[in-house]
Structure 1
Amino acid sequence: MSSNVPTNEQNAAAGTGSDTDSISSLSSRAANMNLDRSSPPPLLSSEASDEEGDITIMKDSSLSEEGPDECGQMPFLDKYGEPVHEGTPPEDFGCWPEYLLYCKQGAKLKIRLAVVEKGVAVGYRRVDYPAKILVDHSQYFRGLFRTGAAMSEFEVGHLDLNDIDIVSFERLYMVMASGHPAAHHNIGPTVRTLSDLLDCAVLCDRFMMHQIAGWVKKMMNDYMVGMAGWSMQYQQEVINRPGAGFDALHRERVLDVSDAYERSVSMLGETINLPVQPISYVNFLIQACPRVLLAEMVHEFPPLMAAELAKQMLLQS
């Protein structure tokens, strides 16, 4: 077996030069190794080159020499085959996951948000969000970066949105990052769907996210249409199986509608564009909610809602 161990003659030849020459030679060789360039890392061969187990270092030739960029990463390309940049719109990316990956690897905006318990801020947290996805979907954030206002926020290390519940903002970000109103959204308990989505709609209005507001409106309407079988579900889970523990969930769903109605009524005098009008919540309960459950819970509704409910039921009878 051949050996990589230098012979005596080679050692003698190496010894004829000065220490300075040896260092210069090593320095030159190290410079030529191109360690900080785009060459992929060497692979370790599984074969030992001599009895002492020395490892032969081999370059991975499976990667294209021209493919990776200077950081050794493949560039992101749009659907036309051109390299993407910060100004590339989401719809020009090859697919939505690639858009999200590009955003995650780009600039971040640190935002300070409130930690809320029972409606009261008990502390704050700072969270890094991909700047591009915020800028692409929000006139508010786009304006911050255009005017340089975001840069002034960096002087204190973050953008201060400490009047916003961190969970509410994260919920909005999840809807935004889903890329489509029909995508599955695990934004919270399903029995609080309307209240959670209304919360998103309020933030959409504040941050001027018009496209996302349209998604939220569609999601709320789709949810109510999808609950057309609520009475049958209640019959199977509660009436036919008393004591199974489902009654509380159905009651929570009714209170969700009540809460969304009450909050919507409170915003009628404001400039916000409500995704669902208060009367629609009332009609939803009349058409979908099990009558026995509705009768049991009507005393828990806000007086205005109870009165509107009675009025609409009389008109529709």
Structure 2
Amino acid sequence: MSGQRELGNFLQTRRAQLRPEDVGLRDHGDRRRVPGLRREELALLAGVSASYYTRLEQGQSLGASPEVLDAIGRALHLDVAEQRHLHDLAGGVKRRTAAAHPPAEHVDAATINLLEAVGDVPALVSGRRGDVLAWNRMGHALFASHIAPTAPSDPRDRPNLARLIFLDPHTRALYADWRTKARAVVENLRMTAGRHPDDPLLTSLVGELTMRSPEFAALWADHGVRPCDSAAHEMRHPLVGALTVTQQSLRPPQDEDHHIVLAVTEPASPSRAALDLLAQAVAPSAGRG
């Protein structure tokens, strides 16, 4: 993914979402060829020249200072996640190309022990690109019971959360509001792409999903960014039926690109009862005489 092109596309999409009245400018009623603010209006709000902003948006200007990026972010009304993404994209323009074959990701023993320590709370570890690096028994049972439980142990065959959401019918049926979950996955992947624009495996994943899923392609083109820190999802599990879980994402201190995802439920709720039932169904002794 070209850092210059991604930076320009992000700025264009955000500029197109703003109207003059959103930023305190008078709309004189003149017809606009495209929706949103004009470049010169955005430049005025950011306190930079129109020619400089145009070059930045067209990928012809490198090395924008943090102060200029902050000013442009304020003019575009970016939130915290979008502002960080803007800085990541601008910094990515100046980064050197990454290794053609990045090393396989691994989970350390302490994180594996943590997955087991949470007991019957579904948990998994996802890597930089959304590959499932490990899961506990309940994480496998809740999120991907139709996949071999040993799949994360083989780097060549690891499930990928984005592929599952967009290309796997079992996972698609698992979420009552699939579109909200799908958007969250894409927006989080966008943030990762901003931090690692030269990751060839990430570029390959985005290309594959763009070609195979029109829904992914449309969401990716929107340039939305948001971290998947915590969100409630209503699920339709094939074994225990409907339940609502809050998926919380934690980052191990030793690697910000890894995420520990926990699925928690309200105490004494029907959803907790459903998880308890699932735990009984997949317990090691289940079905044995």
Mark yes or no: TM-score above 0.5: no
Q: TM-score when scaled to structure 2?
A: 0.26
What is the TM-score of this pair, normalised by structure 1? 0.25
